[in-house]
Amino acid sequence: MGRTLRIAIGQIDPTVGDLSGNAAVIRKWLGKAERAQADIAVFPELAITGYPPEDLVFKRHFVDHNIQTLRELAKKTSTTAAVVGFVDREGQAIYNAAAMLAGGRVRGVARKAHLPNYGVFDEVRTFRPGAASPLFVVRGVTIGLVVCEDAWFPEPCRTLGRLGAEVIVSINASPYHRGKDEERRALFSARATESKAFFVYAQTVGGQDELVFDGDSLIFNRRGEIVARGAQFAEDMVLYDIELPEKARALSKKAVVVKISGPKPVKRIELPRQPRQVLDPIGEVYAALVLGTRDYVFKNGFKSAVIGLSGGIDSALTAVVAADAIGVDNVTGVSMPSPYSSNDSFEDAKDLAGNLGIGFAVIPISALMESFRTALGEVFAGRPSDVTEENLQSRIRGNILMALSNKFGHLVLATGNKSEMATGYSTLYGDLAGGFAVLKDVPKTLVYKLAGWRNDRGPAAIPDRVMTKAPTAELRPEQLDVDSLPPYERLDPILFSYIEEHRSFEEIVAKGSSAEEVRRVLRLVDTSEYKRRQAPPGVKITRLSFGKDRRLPITNRYREGSRPAPARAAPGGPRAESRKKR
């Protein structure tokens, strides 16, 4: 007869800074683990504080409160031990740590050794790296603890295996981006085989500002095979019986061991089968957008959202995501037609709202446009109409949406996509106005794929004409996006190469794009940094998003693929705005 360790992963959705609320969630899921007769329950990285706490950790009282919360939580442990992420402190140094709680107290701590300092991460700024941690014996099974980034390197997992760990538990708050699931599976499979131990990847779930955590917790056997996994983009409890030989792995004399509980025969309830359906690549992006939007709205105290519906694909997809995220009764779409808006666009916006069942309002802007023309007529006398008048339309719409936000408490959801954000094809204080930009990291070509994916899973909400008509801002007669930008099927690959792959001008041209087009696109990207810096946050779904991932100076004369450039026109000048509407 071998040894069995019943493990429960509490894949929870904590909120940054809500120490008491997070503790209550942990207690609830710990109770579920106890009722399932789990020997140990594992909760995510910094589950007490939420991740990332950023500069909150520089507030001494915040760290004190988090430590006291952990101790109070430890008092609730009885039959089931618990691993919980928290902020530890020793003297003036603070650590990203995992605590082992059992028998009413904190039994030991593992501190994160590898501190990520790239992309969205800035942990070197906030934490000190930790040193070797003890091994813990729970029900006769030896367990090693690591925190997130530590498992992305061979050490310390190999050392824990050599010291005698039979199970390595890794607590995580690993932000989602497309393709990350494949990276994790390959990496953690290797950690299991290298350490000759079961590997438990316990991941958080939920949205935090622009970050989304996708859940999908995993357990690997010693051959590196997945034997259990959690739900994607949803809270979940993963229960699994780890079966080990009767004879325990020998412990190294160098190992520091904390004995939590010895073997205890128990007649256990049988675990239910937990089949998990894995989302396809487009489906997981859609789920990320829904979860990120839902948590941003509700965690920031909003109950409803308002969206400008233009009759185009971006506002349509934003509305569908919002409806799926926070409920159709909590979403209002607003059509704001101008003299340049087509009847087709109005009908498409109306049909979308009807198909979804969201609120719908119509506020024409023609009279407001005329009042602006009258007010500015004298100072603009003798000058032809240009982008100024076009952008006034977008700004009028932005003002209307913000007025509705103020009056009814709605969060304004901006509708711009990554292709537009990249090239500056947007209007400051117009379509960039809003509290959250659902599609900020979604390239235009992916917008269409997501819309098709959602329609295919029905009931179809986005009208067919929206899916097929040429993209247009409708700020002047016969206007199309291709008047200002290359076709999106050519534009998006250039943007991907330049932004996410950091390719040079020459490398992008070598991949098949024309030199003239690449030079033009790169200049649009480089001269639009000031706009992106003023844009609202949005869900991160790519490896490199516009936000914490990308930190470029606004005042910057370096240009790829061209001679040193003259100074850019000042914000508000003729080149400062692209023609765009909402």
DSSP for 479-503, written as a single string: --GGGTS--HHHHHHHHIIIIIS--
- Residues sharing a CB contact under 8 Å with residue 366, sequence separation 6 or more, in sequence order: 337, 338, 339
Measured at the CA of 539, the angle between CA 307 and CA 332, to 5 degrees, comes to 15
Does 567 fall in a domain? no
- Please state the φ and ψ torsions of residue 335, each to the nearest 5 degrees: -95, 130
Q: Which of 148, 157, 474, 560 is catalytic?
A: 148
Q: How far apart are CA 105 and CA 189, in angstroms?
A: 33
The phi-psi region of residue 224 (left if phi > 0; otherwise alpha if psi is between -120 and 50; otherwise beta) is left
Residues 6+ apart with CB under 8 A from 557: 564, 565, 567
List the structure tokens of 520: 């033009």
Polymer length in residues for the chain: 582
Q: Which of 54, 72, 75, 112 is catalytic?
A: 112
Strand 81-90's sheet: what is its strand order? Answer: 105-111, 93-102, 81-90, 40-42, 3-11, 236-244
Q: Which residues of 346-364 are buried (b: 16+ CB within 10 A; e: fewer)?
A: bebbbbbbebbebbbeebe
95/212 same-domain check:
yes
344 lies in the same domain as 475? yes
Over its length of 582 residues, how does the chain's per-residue pLDDT go in tens digits? 688 999 999 999 999 999 999 999 999 999 999 999 999 999 999 999 999 999 999 999 999 999 999 999 999 998 899 999 999 999 999 999 999 999 999 999 999 999 999 889 999 999 999 987 899 999 999 999 999 999 999 999 999 999 999 999 999 999 999 999 999 999 999 999 999 999 999 999 999 999 999 999 999 999 999 999 999 999 999 999 999 999 999 999 899 999 988 777 668 888 887 778 899 999 999 999 999 999 999 999 999 999 999 999 999 999 999 999 999 999 999 999 999 999 999 999 999 999 999 999 999 999 999 999 999 999 999 999 899 988 999 999 999 999 999 999 999 999 999 999 999 999 999 989 999 999 999 999 999 999 999 999 988 999 999 999 988 887 788 888 888 899 999 999 999 999 999 999 999 999 999 999 999 999 999 999 999 999 999 999 999 999 888 888 898 888 887 655 455 444 443 334 444 433
- Please classify residue 59 by burial: count the beta carbons closer than 10 Å to its beta carbon, then call 0-12 exposed, 13-18 middle and 19+ buried: exposed
Active-site residue, 45 included: yes
Is residue 391 within 8 Å of residue 579, measured between CB atoms? yes
Are 22 and 153 found together in one domain? yes
Same domain for 291 and 402?
yes
Helices of type H across 418-553 = 418-423, 444-456, 464-468, 488-495, 505-510, 515-526, 529-533
Report the alpha-carbon angle 252-256-260, nearest 5: 110
**Whether residues 257 and 286 fall in one domain:** no
- Same domain for 206 and 290, yes or no, is no
Is residue 112 part of the annotated active site? The answer reads: yes
Q: What is the CATH number of the domain that holds 335?
A: 3.40.50.620
Looking at the structure, tell me whether residues 245 and 329 fall in a common domain: no
* CA–CA gap between residue 236 and residue 8 (Å, rounded): 10
What is the distance between the terminal CA atoms of the chain, rounded to a whole angstrom? 68
Judge contact between 530 and 554, C-beta under 8 A.
yes
CA 571, 574, 579, 580: dihedral to nearest 10 degrees? 20
Both tokens of residue 457? Answer: 């899973």
Burial label, 36 (beta-carbon count in 10 A; 0-12, 13-18, 19+): middle
127 and 179 belong to one structural domain: yes
Q: What would the two tokens of residue 29 be? A: 């899921």
- 157 in catalytic set: no
Say how many CA atoms lie within 13 Å of 289 toward its Cβ: 29
Amino acid at 309: L
Q: How far is CA 551 from CA 101, 221, 557, in A?
A: 39, 40, 15
* 298 and 403 together in one domain: yes
Tell me whether residue 339 is in a domain. yes
The residue from 28, 32, 34, 45 that is catalytic is 45
526 and 387, same domain (yes or no): yes
Number of domains in the chain: 2
Q: Which one of 505, 533, 561 terminates a domain?
A: 533
In a domain, 277, yes or no: no
546 in any annotated domain: no
Give just the sign of the alpha carbon dihedral 216, 221, 226, 231: negative
Give the pair of three-digit tokens for residue 355: 């198909």
Claim to verify: residue 248 and residue 289 sit in the same structural domain = no
Please tell me the predicted confidence (pLDDT) of residue 213: 97
- Which strands form 331-335's sheet, in the order they lie side by side? 359-362, 331-335, 305-308, 411-414, 436-437
**pLDDT for 576:** 41
State the residue range of the domain holding 454: 282-533
281, 318 Cβ separation under 8 angstroms: no
| Dihedral pair phi/psi, residue 351, rounded to 5° | -65, -40
User: In which element (H, E) is residue 335 found?
Assistant: strand 331-335
Residue 154 CA: distances (Å) to CA of 168, 187, 217, 218? 13, 9, 20, 18
CB environment 144-171: b (16+ within 10 A), e (fewer): bbbbbbbbbeeebbbbbbebbbbbbbbb
Q: How far apart are CA 353 and CA 173, in angstroms?
A: 36
Residue 291 lies in a domain: yes
- Domain final position from 491, 508, 533: 533
CA distance 418 to 441: 5
pLDDT, residue 562, reads: 66
**CA 391 from chain center: how many Å?**
31
> 553 lies in a domain?
no
Q: What's the farthest any 2 CA atoms get from each other in the chain?
A: 94
Q: What is the CATH number of the domain that holds 62?
A: 3.60.110.10
Tell me if 547 is assigned to some domain: no
Residue 155, token pair as written in the block: 């050490």
230: DSSP letter: P
Q: Are 65 and 19 in contact (CB under 8 A)?
A: yes
**Neighbour tally for 209: CB within 10 Å:** 21
What is the 3-state secondary structure of 165-226? CCEEEEEECCECCCCHHHHHHHHHHHHHHHHCCEEEEEECEEEECCEEEEECCEEECCCCCE
Q: Is residue 427 part of a domain?
A: yes
Cβ atoms within 10 Å, residue 295: 22
Structure tokens at 285: 């992006």
Question: Residues 287, 255: one domain?
Answer: no
